[in-house]
Amino acid sequence: MTGHTLGRADFDVIAGWVEPGHRVLDLGCGDGSLLKRLIETRGIQGWGIEIEDANVLAAIGNGVNVIQSNLENGLADFAEGAFDHVVLSRTLQTVRHTEGILREMLRVGREAVVSFPNFAYWKNLRAVLDGRMPVSEDLPYQWYDSPNVRFFTLLDFEALCAQMGLAIRERRVLDEKGNPVEAGDDRELNFLGSLAVYRLTRAR
Amino acid sequence: MPGQSVGAVQSHCAHFSEPIELRSGGVLPAYDLVYETYGTLNAAKSNAILVCHALSGHHHVAGHYADQPDNIGWWDNIIGPGRPLDTDRYFIVGLNNLGGCHGSTGPSTPNPATGQPWGADFPMVAVSDWVEAQARLADRLGIDAWAAVIGGSLGGMQALRWSISFPERIRHALIIASAPRLSAQNIAFNDVARQAILTDPDFHGGHYYAHGVRPVRGLRLARMLGHITYLSDDQMGEKFGRELKNGSFSFDYDVEFQIESYLRYQGDKFAGHFDANTYLLMTKALDYFDPARLDGGDLKRTMARTRAGFLVVSFTTDWRFTPARSREIVAALVANGRNVSYAESSLNFGHDSFLMEDSHYHGVIDAYLRNIVL
């Protein structure tokens, strides 16, 4: 788990989706900067999960609640509905058990917030057409040192949500600079978006 | 971790003439607590940290005595100017618990009713009794609320108990290599240790002082057994392996393997100075510790009474109190919406890791304590 020490564009979106007093669990919280921001600007109560020693230390230094644990082992320590929001920011692509983690997020949380780099972003596609794996603001790694183990697109993710019976409450798609992308249809959005942020619930 | 030792220190003795009623039903009419302090209590009296000791610990937590330069406190590596328990910032208090054998009232100190050592007549003490006595020491020192209470193993249980018994008197609890209650296996190990002492012919039903003997053999066995549970299999393998003292088998029962030599040395060293009745009491306090018992075993309900912030730390090589035991505490706290951080260290020293120096482990404690607003 690498956490989100990179761009902060999705933080703005997530900040808009939480309410003061909400309990937020941030999976792969890195140095705790998202939670710190949500605590300071939105008055939430937060806990992060992080595996890397350096990030755990940094999060504690930031005054953020952090629990050192491996996401791949699930969220079994937490009760059903313990949180209002469970956030997975720029981390889903590093998790091997994709369905498992999504299901767990919506077991312990009322809502899941998921952001991830969109592999179908046109610059990524162009890189592949040029014969090289993409390296961008939202996919900043070389193929040989990338923590990412799953490569997927907006449309792939939405298909998985449908298959798992998860309801998409809101969707924000951002370009490399973090600005919202306007598009005529989903296919175009999939082509123009570098980072996607979703707000999910269990289907009613 | 940079930083210095606190240097030369002195111990103090506080006498309490108010009786203390114990969890076991026993009463101590009066008692002494020996303690040490490091650093300076600030004007607001908001910078005090209580360090609670584990099974064999005491009040000499840090520094050395001017006339005994080699007698260094048992947790010296974490306390001092620039160290995680920074004496430039905090006022640190360590004491010997009731029932101890390092100067506080215990089985080896005189029973005022007879003038002889209490021995087996010393009442059983529970973790909650220690916390009560510690609260009275805090009153004596003018400390309304601790900035933090910290401890490893049985010491961590005292920090946990503080957060439940005196929620308004503890702002932060640092619970290291501990557990919310002992498992059957933990109790089993303790009972074998106790049986070693109780069946020693020199035990004399706990009144060995009058016979001029000490149950050294039993205490030595108890410590050897305990010591095995404090280390990790890997570390023991790395340190001793199957190495032989004399290079080849001697086909007798003398010390052959290096691990035997080490354990016997540890057993002898401990049995030479520690009081067997204190050892018995401490292991029973461990066995009885179960703050959720009155809530039908529901730790979540118990932890609802807490108000403190928490830092919980465990060690992956600790098989006595595994990380899973620490996570039980964390889960109960999160379920109550409490502020809690949890760090897991991969230090290789088993349960004893909590006494070791390590950049992640000590770094986490340092970062946590630096964030406390005094």
- The reply to whether A100 falls in a domain is yes
Q: How far apart are CA B351 and CA B154, in angstroms?
A: 11
DSSP B168-224: GGBSEEEEES--SS--HHHHHHHHHHHHHHHT-TT-GGGTGGGGT---HHHHHHHHH
Please calculate the CA angle B128-B206-B126 and round it to the nearest 5 degrees. 5
Spell out a b/e string for B225-236, using b for 16 or more CB atoms within 10 Å of the CB, else e.
Answer: bbbbbbbbeebb
Interface test with B, best of A51, A53, A62, A66 (most B CBs within 10 A): A53
For residue B111, give the DSSP letter: P
Structure confidence by residue, pLDDT tens digits, B27-80: 999 999 999 999 999 999 999 999 999 999 999 999 999 999 999 999 999 999
Q: What is the mean pLDDT of residues A167-182?
A: 94
Distances (CA, A) of B16 to B21, B30, B100, B130, B338: 13, 6, 16, 14, 35
- Choosing from B76, B275, B318, B358, which is the catalytic residue? B318
* CATH number of the domain where residue A147 is located: 3.40.50.150
Q: pLDDT 10s per residue in chain B (374 long)?
A: 579 999 999 999 999 999 999 999 999 999 999 999 999 999 999 999 999 999 999 999 999 999 999 999 999 999 999 999 999 999 999 999 999 999 999 999 999 999 999 999 999 999 999 999 999 999 999 999 999 999 999 999 999 999 999 999 999 999 999 999 999 999 999 999 999 999 999 999 999 999 999 999 999 999 999 999 999 999 999 999 999 998 899 999 999 999 999 999 999 999 999 999 999 999 999 999 999 999 999 999 999 999 999 999 999 999 999 999 999 999 999 999 999 999 999 999 999 999 999 999 999 999 999 999 99
Number of neighbours of residue A149 by Cβ within 10 angstroms: 10
- The reply to whether A144 falls in a domain is yes
Percent of chain B with pLDDT over 70: 100
Number of neighbours of residue B237 by Cβ within 10 angstroms: 12
Confidence band, pLDDT 50/70/90 cuts, at residue A73: confident
User: Residue B329: which H helix or E strand, with range?
Assistant: helix B323-335
Which residues of chain B lie closer than 8 angstroms to A64, CB-CB? 341
For residue A60, give the nearest of B334, B335, B367 by CB distance: B367
pLDDT confidence of residue A29: 95
For residue A23, give the nearest of B337, B341, B371 by CB distance: B337
Q: How far apart are CA B85 and CA B283, in angstroms?
A: 28
Count Cβ–Cβ pairs < 8 Å, chain A vs chain B.
52
For residue A79, give the nearest of B327, B335, B364 by CB distance: B335
B139: annotated active-site residue: no
- The reply to whether A119 falls in a domain is yes
Structure confidence by residue, pLDDT tens digits, B74-114: 999 999 999 999 999 999 999 999 999 999 999 999 999 99
pLDDT confidence of residue A1: 39
With H, G, I as helix, E, B as strand and everything else as coil, classify residue B113: coil
DSSP B223-234: HHHHHHHHS-HH
Interface test with B, best of A23, A57, A75, A83 (most B CBs within 10 A): A57
Q: Evaluate if residue A142 carries a pLDDT over 70.
A: yes
Amino acid at A35: L
Cα-Cα-Cα-Cα dihedral of B141, B147, B152, B155, to 10°? 40
- The reply to whether A159 falls in a domain is yes
- The reply to whether A65 falls in a domain is yes
Nearest alpha-carbon partner for A118 in A69, A184, A174, A165: A174
- Choosing from B5, B153, B163, B178, which is the catalytic residue? B153
B366: annotated active-site residue: no
Q: What is the mean pLDDT of residues A125-136?
A: 95
pLDDT confidence of residue A9: 84
Smallest Cα distance from B182 to chain A, Å: 19
Using an 8 Å Cβ cutoff, are B316 and B346 in contact?
yes
Domain count, chain A: 1
Nearest alpha-carbon partner for B51 in B94, B104, B102, B97: B94
A79 touches chain B (CB under 8 A): yes
- The reply to whether A3 falls in a domain is no
Q: What is the mean pLDDT of residues A113-131?
A: 96
pLDDT confidence of residue B1: 56
B191: annotated active-site residue: no
Nearest alpha-carbon partner for B340 in B145, B135, B182, B159: B159
Confidence band, pLDDT 50/70/90 cuts, at residue A8: confident
Distances (CA, A) of B29 to A8, B209, B268: 63, 22, 35
- The reply to whether A169 falls in a domain is yes
pLDDT confidence of residue A7: 52
State the residue range of the domain holding A109.
9-202
pLDDT confidence of residue A72: 82
Q: Quickly count helices (H) and strands (E) in chain B.
A: 10, 12
pLDDT confidence of residue B99: 98
Using an 8 Å Cβ cutoff, are A127 and A133 in contact?
yes
Catalogue the E-assigned strands of chain A: 23-27, 45-50, 65-68, 83-89, 109-117, 166-174, 195-202
Confidence band, pLDDT 50/70/90 cuts, at residue A157: very high
Longest distance between any two alpha carbons in chain B, whole Å: 67
- Are B340 and A65 within 8 A, CB to CB? yes
For residue A92, give the DSSP letter: G
pLDDT confidence of residue A3: 41
- The reply to whether A171 falls in a domain is yes
Interface test with B, best of A56, A80, A84 (most B CBs within 10 A): A56
Which residues of chain B lie closer than 8 angstroms to A78, CB-CB? 331, 334-335
